[in-house]
């Protein structure tokens, strides 16, 4: 750690943007949009503004939260992870299959699954660094390989876990606070503290801003990149564990929509594809925004199809209102 700390002092300019983040215009956008949804919710629906509804939404938002957190970490270091959905799928199948054969391995397999996710993420990072191939292509490739492997293994939902494991998804602390939602919030809090207050976390921004400049200030860029991709895989596996907990099985298709869905909150939260900028709390607000909006629209009986249109328009609105210069993806 020592080398990074000493580098930190010397690389002031590279990481200074962090201190300006609370004023980031795109964070204002997500706060305003979220406020608009909440106000609309209280006005338009009796059922929206209840504690019961909010805790339900928090419980359901856990998977999107985990996936978006991982995506955000990769985006901050200047990459993108299109394999998140495939890792989610593979994790559910791996966990449910092994545990059905050996129910006693339930608890070790929770850690095993998370390690599996982190390992796939590590491979993504390693291939990206070693080959210089765009992360879009690398993660698309690993996603294709993983999905192919899973679908050769099974085309149907498979496996099973002990009944008590559903506590992770459905359990409530004090009958109110959903465990899954709490774990998700804690993960965001940890990531926020890590990125803001540790030298290694700050190095994420430096690497995303310019890997070469970061390397010259003594940051080991490659290690940071590997950490980010591994973390993304780890949180994707966490989302996988959540799905196993909810449904009790491993589903070879469950992750399909997660990859692209994980990008929306990241963008709404003001992170910029290309890296180096953004507040992870914005991503959490983005997760709330998407989840509450879909919750409200469901109460208003708006069809899923119209919800897609609205989601697409929100992305366009959010990214086009704030014109960013420079790196693009």
Partner 1 sequence: MTEIAAKPGGEPILAKLQQFAVPIALVALMAVATAVQPSFLSPNNLQDILTQAAPLALVVLGQAFVILVRGLDLSVASLMASVAVLATAFNATSDAMIPVIFAAAIVVSALVGLINGLLVTKRNVSPFLATLAMMIVLQGVRFYYTQGSPSGSLPEGFRFLGAGQILGLPVNVLAFALCFGVLGWLLHKSSFGRKIYITGGNPAAADLVGIRSDRVIIACYMVSSVMAGIAGLFLVGFVGTVDNWVGRGYELDAIVACVIGGVALTGGRGTLWGAAAGALILVLIFNIVIILGLPVQAQLMIKGLIIIIAAALFARAQKA
Residue with smaller CB distance to partner 1, 139 or 221 = 139
Q: Which of 164, 163, 182 is nearest to 173 (CA)?
A: 182
Beta bridge partners of 177: 173
Q: Which of 125, 59, 121 is nearest to 88 (CA)?
A: 121
Q: Is 319 in the site for partner 1 (CB under 8 A)?
A: yes
Instruction: List the x/- string, 143-182, binding to partner 1 by CB under 8 A.
Output: xxxxxxx-xx------------------------------
122-137 core/surface letters (b: 16 or more CB in 10 A; e: else) = bbbbbbbbeeeeebee
Cα separations (Å) of 63 from 183, 235, 251?
Answer: 11, 9, 14
Q: Which of 78, 56, 84 is nearest to 263 (CA)?
A: 84
Q: Shortest distance, CB of residue 266 to partner 1, whole angstroms?
A: 10
Residues from 17 through 56 that contact partner 1 (CB under 8 A): none
C-alpha 316 chain-centroid distance: 20
What is the rounded CA–CA span in Å between residue 264 and residue 259? 10
- Dihedral angle at the C-alpha atoms of 264, 267, 272, 274, nearest 10 degrees? 10
Q: Which segment (98-106, 164-172, 287-295, 302-310) binds partner 1 by CB under 8 A?
A: 302-310
CB atoms inside a 10 Å sphere around CB 156: 9
Place of tokens 């507040």: 279
Q: Shortest distance, CB of residue 83 to partner 1, whole angstroms?
A: 10
Q: Is 3 in the site for partner 1 (CB under 8 A)?
A: no
Number of residues in contact with partner 1 under rule CB under 8 A = 46
Q: Is 131 in the site for partner 1 (CB under 8 A)?
A: yes
Instruction: List the x/- string, 67-96, binding to partner 1 by CB under 8 A.
Output: -------------x----------------
Instruction: Please give the structure tokens belonging to residue 208.
Output: 């995303």
What is the rounded CA–CA span in Å between residue 50 and residue 292? 12
Instruction: Please give the structure tokens belonging to residue 195.
Output: 């990125």
Q: Shortest distance, CB of residue 66 to partner 1, whole angstroms?
A: 21
Q: Is 225 in the site for partner 1 (CB under 8 A)?
A: no
Q: Is 300 in the site for partner 1 (CB under 8 A)?
A: no
Residue with smaller CB distance to partner 1, 166 or 256 = 256
Q: Is 138 in the site for partner 1 (CB under 8 A)?
A: yes
Q: Is 328 in the site for partner 1 (CB under 8 A)?
A: yes
Residue with smaller CB distance to partner 1, 89 or 180 = 89
* Residues engaged in binding partner 1 (CB under 8 A): 80, 127, 131-134, 136-138, 140-149, 151-152, 260, 263, 267, 273-274, 303-313, 315-316, 319-320, 323-325, 328-329
């Amino acid at each position: 750690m020592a080398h990074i700390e000493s580098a930190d002092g010397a690389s002031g300019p590279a990481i200074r943007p962090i201190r300006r983040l609370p004023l980031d215009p795109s964070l204002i956008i997500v706060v305003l949009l979220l406020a608009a949804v909440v106000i609309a919710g209280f006005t338009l629906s009796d059922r929206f503004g209840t504690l019961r509804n909010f805790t339900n939404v928090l419980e359901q938002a856990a998977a999107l939260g985990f996936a978006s957190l991982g995506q955000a970490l990769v985006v901050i270091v200047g990459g993108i992870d299109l394999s998140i959905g495939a890792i989610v799928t593979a994790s559910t199948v791996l966990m449910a299959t092994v545990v059905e054969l050996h129910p006693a391995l339930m608890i070790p397999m929770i850690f095993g699954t998370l390690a599996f996710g982190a390992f796939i993420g590590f491979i993504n990072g390693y291939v990206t660094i070693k080959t210089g191939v765009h992360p879009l292509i690398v993660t698309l490739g690993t996603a294709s390989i993983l999905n192919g492997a899973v679908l050769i293994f099974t085309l149907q939902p498979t496996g099973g876990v002990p009944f008590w494991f559903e506590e992770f998804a459905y359990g409530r602390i004090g009958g109110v606070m959903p465990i899954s939602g709490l774990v998700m919030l804690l993960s965001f809090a940890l990531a926020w503290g890590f990125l803001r207050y540790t030298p290694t976390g700050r190095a994420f921004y430096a690497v995303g801003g310019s890997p070469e400049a970061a390397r010259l200030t003594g940051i080991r860029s490659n290690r940071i990149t590997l950490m980010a991709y591994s973390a993304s895989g780890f949180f994707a596996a966490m989302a996988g564990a959540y799905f196993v907990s909810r449904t009790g099985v491993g589903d070879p298709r469950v992750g399909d929509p997660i990859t692209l869905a994980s990008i929306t909150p990241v963008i709404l939260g003001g992170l910029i594809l290309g890296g180096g900028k953004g507040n992870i709390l914005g991503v959490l607000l983005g997760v709330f925004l998407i989840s509450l909006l879909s919750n409200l629209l469901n109460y208003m009986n708006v069809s899923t199809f119209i919800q897609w249109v609205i989601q697409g328009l929100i992305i366009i609105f959010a990214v086009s209102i704030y014109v960013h210069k420079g790196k693009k993806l």
